[in-house]
Amino acid sequence: MNLGLKNKNAVVLASTKGLGKAIAKTLYTEGCNVAICSRSVSSVQNTIKEFEHLNSESRVIGKAVDVSNPDEIDSFFDFVESEFDSVDILVTNAGGPPSGKFDDFSDKEWLNAFEQNLMSVVRSIRRAVPSMKIKKQGKIIAITSISVKSPVENLILSNTIRAGVTGLIKSLSNELAEYNITVNSVCPGYILTDRVQQLSKNESERTGNNEKDIIKMWEQKIPMKRMGTPDEFASLVVYMCSNKAGYITGTTFWMDGGRYQGLM
């Protein structure tokens, strides 16, 4: 299927590993010019080299960015605007906040999660939308978590903050529809990434159980009895970035192997 993404300009946050990298790579191979970022300069440089070896005709650019820092978000978009004439696609993404229960966290940790997982979305959308409005087209996808549908035990920061992102995305979809800008969110369940590996390590330290046994236990709660792959997740997101999904907006999708048992 030709998704019609050739020569589109895409920004993907937190995109040198895990889901963000898989999304950026798939957009790139579909013909998009892609701007990537992460907190590590070397990770950005290595990812750019890796993408360029794919022999795509597209461009890939990147910069070290802490998405929780408003000045660095602004600097990144200044850089993108100097290299690309506009932003057609924005995929917001950020590492998940620490695991733990309510009593584990101070105000500082709540505010850190707020800056990283909600305000990074607000600030990046604020910078991307003006050029989309001028062109009267654009795609915004927020990567959140299945926790917005069903809170995950021991992830109270993520359960709370990411639900706020979902409210933002739904509200914005109404405001931006007249400009032909679609705004959606996509929620991963258990996808085998570094984040899931870290969560299994944290759970192992908390309970004394083996990390591999913890992952197997999580998989047994999934009807498909396995975790998803970043590439599978990226395929859904990239489809949502295409004009094939041009009449879908204000919607929350989840990819979790059937883990969520609700009807809606």
Domains belonging to the chain, first-starting first, are 9-191+229-255 (3.40.50.720)
pLDDT, tens digit, 9 for 90 and up, residues 186-238: 999 889 888 788 888 888 888 888 888 888 989 999 999 999 999 999 999 99
pLDDT (0 to 100) of residue 161: 96
pLDDT, tens digit, 9 for 90 and up, residues 123-143: 999 999 999 999 999 999 999
Q: Is the pLDDT of residue 2 over 90?
A: no
pLDDT, tens digit, 9 for 90 and up, residues 42-69: 999 999 999 999 977 899 999 999 999 9
Mean pLDDT of 107-113: 97
Backbone phi, psi, residue 228, to 5°:
-75, 170
> Considering Cα of 7, then 12, then 15, then 19, what sign does the dihedral take?
negative
pLDDT (0 to 100) of residue 82: 97
Lowest mean pLDDT among 8-12, 148-152, 247-251: 148-152
pLDDT (0 to 100) of residue 79: 98
- Measured CA to CA, the distance from residue 51 to residue 25 in angstroms comes to 7
pLDDT (0 to 100) of residue 109: 97
> Considering Cα of 122, then 124, then 125, then 131, what sign does the dihedral take?
positive
pLDDT (0 to 100) of residue 206: 83
Q: What percent of the chain shows pLDDT beyond 70?
A: 100
